[in-house]
Amino acid sequence: MTFSPDPRLRNALAPRSIAVIGATEDPNKVGGRPLHYLKRFGFSGAVYPINPRRKIIQGMQAYASLAELPETPDVAIVAVGQDAVPDVIEQCATRAIACVIVMSSGFGETGSAGVQRQTALVQHARRLGVRLVGPNAQGVANFQTGAVMNFSTMFMEIEPEDGPVAIISQSGAASVMPYAMLRERGVGVRYLIASGNDADASVCELALAAAVDPAIRVILLYIESLADPAMLAETARLAISRGAAVIALKAGRSVQGAKAAASHTGAMVNDDIVVDAFLERHGIWRAADVHGLINAVELYLALPPRLADSLVVMSHSGAVGVLCADAAETLNLPLTELAPAVVCSLADIMPSFATAQNPVDLTASLMTQSGMYAATLNTLATDPQADMFLIGVPVAGPGYDVQGMATDTATFAANTGKPAVVSAPQASVRQVFRSAGVPVYAHETDAINALHQWSRHGILMRQASARDQLEAAAASVLALPNRTSHFLSEDESLAVLAKADIPTVPYVLCRNADEALTAWRALGQDVVMKACSAHIPHKSEHGLVFIGLDSEQQIVDAWKQCTQRAAALQVPFDGVIVARRVSGRREFALGVRQDPAFGTVVMIGDGGKYVEALRDFVVLLHPFSQDDVIAKLNTLRIAPILAGVRGEAPIDLDTVAHTAVALARLAASHPRDITSIDLNPLIVGDTGSAGWAVDAVIERCKEQA
């Protein structure tokens, strides 16, 4: 499913005329600051202050009401008391104003009574065909056109400049913090949107409205509640299709953070693990904090992100080289092993006491041999494995040709198409490199983090584009058993899995002791016996699982105990499952659930009874491929064991991946029938061997049960 941005919101981002309802003379009040900004930043369209008590406001002709305006504005700013807002929205609808920025507070952010007022306001606006940004919105700013419909004081402190970045945030403070940090680095911002309570137009929908601007190359998001992930997915798809990047800071990762976000927005916070999977699925980089949100922006603007694996570090300080190598290793960012021919060429350029290896140490000779800098860079560029470059400039002063180094670095990056960043603690040195268009950082750790994010984000973006080609539901729809119970029995669950092309353990459902004996003989006399009932999803808790049965008498005794214990529970009893006892190298647990916001979610982890305690699992969102599953499994803590240790063969991850994809397709094909699937364990052996789903429970949707 694809979405197009609402033209009413697009007009709000680039209006030709603006009404300010509740306009005031004082530029330090909410109703006065947008008027001040519209004049200060050169908005060329018509501005209509609305205030029945004044003729002139901040030098502009004022109007008593919207009805007096000579034209219909594209957007209206509402800065009146909360009780007056519904009536103002109706006046806007009467005047055919299609989008309103509601700066007024006292709605969903204030508690249950405010939530009720907010719900009623949104319903009222939708009946009238008016889109709302807010309420409790700090506002919208377009620094290309000067349409700064925002009351933040930040733009009085830090002068705006147009640029290829859009910032969309649910929080006013979280919108201007990245703005200030980017402006201090000399990066321009085109759109800054603080959407407030997201009662109607969400931060995701507003991001889509900004993403259609072809000049936008980086979209920065601050999200507290992710109410419409499909809209965010479309934003990412559109951005990635033209090489732009989406970076999100999703608040509420911790328990306390989630509570704070919920109290701030009055909205439910989604399960954070699923949010991680969703962002990754759609090629969106998740930042850990505001610094991480903006840290790599200059690098993104210098070069669209792509896969890059090998790093070269060059400095005129051996210590800086070592520190960079250490930082890179912590992020699993390998340093390039330079080709022998390159090492030989470097040795001809550098002094004999310099280091012609990676990290490359030019030593203080750089001060007297300025040509060595460009010659070294150009030689390193010939190494086919070197695809990222970090240049440490720990000190520079008289004797160092900083301008020449900056020019050479910019030329090198332009000619090779490879990312090159600089770390320099001196602000004056950073300014020279920045003026040359080179991404520059005060600390080598920030520089390494930027390169890591840039390269890994490139992988996510490429994978997201590939997943968009996968069919959303390739499985045929299977007829589920007509049950009135909330769960299918194990027999019914395994039968459904088998029809969905999932390998299952050989078993027989037995109605009496004689059938159990026959099954025991047929299955090889090494079996597991389990009670079968849709009303007993967890049999081991009730002593209804029997192993180690090696005689006819033991089979009969197990049958009797099963029937007696099941009868004591006073639930319907289908019989006893006699299943072949299988063994393998590893047990896995797989779980599926339907998320109302994100769709079919699949969990895969180390199996057994400790899966919840150890929490060594991965999460994927349907659709995904077997390669996606294997890549995810390789991130588990047990990954080295899965690959085989001390001469062991690798575990058969292909079977795990096949099962995960088939489970996801099954659940996605029955979104109204299947609530969840619990498959634990899936037993697998060495690569190329068989695997078996040994136990499974399918939970049905309550309305279908």
Q: What is the pLDDT of residues 272-310, one digit of tens each?
A: 889 999 999 999 999 999 999 999 999 999 999 998 889
Q: CA geometry: angle at 693 spanning 692 and 694, to 5°?
A: 100
Res 355 pLDDT > 70 = yes
The dihedral through the CA atoms of 593, 596, 600, 601 has a sign that is negative
Q: What is the pLDDT of residues 572-623, one digit of tens each?
A: 899 999 999 998 999 999 999 999 889 999 999 988 766 767 788 999 999 9
**Bond preceding residue 86 cis, omega within 30 of 0:** no
Q: Which residues contact 316 (CB under 8 A, 6 or more apart)?
A: 361, 362, 363, 364, 365, 366, 367, 392, 393, 394
The residue to which tokens 């306390």 are assigned: 256
What is the C-alpha to C-alpha distance for residues 639 and 284, in angstroms, rounded to an integer?
A: 25
Paired with 578 in beta bridges are 508, 529
Residue 425, pLDDT score: 95
Residue type, 472: A
Residue 264, pLDDT score: 40
CA 624 to chain CA centroid, Å, is: 16
Q: CA geometry: angle at 400 spanning 399 and 401, to 5°?
A: 115
Which residue stretches of 223-370 are H helix?
229-241, 255-265, 272-281, 290-294, 297-302, 318-330, 340-349
pLDDT above 70: percentage of residues in the chain: 94
Q: Which residues contact 388 (CB under 8 A, 6 or more apart)?
A: 308, 310, 311, 312, 418, 419, 420, 451, 455
Helices 513-522 and 552-569, packing angle to 10 deg: 130
Q: Are 457 and 420 in contact (CB under 8 A)?
A: no
Q: What is the pLDDT of residues 503-515, one digit of tens each?
A: 999 999 999 999 9
Average pLDDT over residues 88-101: 98
The dihedral through the CA atoms of 654, 658, 660, 661 has a sign that is positive
* Average pLDDT of the chain, as a whole number: 91
Q: Are 363 and 373 in contact (CB under 8 A)?
A: no
Tell me whether residue 483 is exposed, middle or buried, using C-beta atoms within 10 angstroms of its C-beta: 0 to 12, 13 to 18, 19 or more.
middle
- Higher pLDDT: 77 or 689? It is 77
CA 545 to chain CA centroid, Å, is: 42
Paired with 440 in beta bridges are 422
Residue 170, pLDDT score: 94
Residue 254, pLDDT score: 56
Res 120 pLDDT > 70 = yes
**Bond preceding residue 178 cis, omega within 30 of 0:** no
Q: Which residues contact 527 (CB under 8 A, 6 or more apart)?
A: 519, 520, 549, 578, 579, 580, 581
pLDDT band at 265 (very low <50, low <70, confident <90, very high): very low
Residue type, 218: V
Residue 332 phi/psi, 5-degree rounding, is: 55, 40
Q: What is the pLDDT of residues 530-571, one digit of tens each?
A: 999 988 877 888 899 999 888 999 999 999 999 999 999 988
pLDDT band at 227 (very low <50, low <70, confident <90, very high): confident
Res 106 pLDDT > 60 = yes
Residue 268, pLDDT score: 32
Indicate the DSSP class of residue 59.
Answer: T
Res 266 pLDDT > 50 = no
3-state secondary structure 461-516: HHHHHHHCCCCCCCCCCCCCCCCCCCECCHHHHHHHHHHCCCCECCEEEECCHHHH
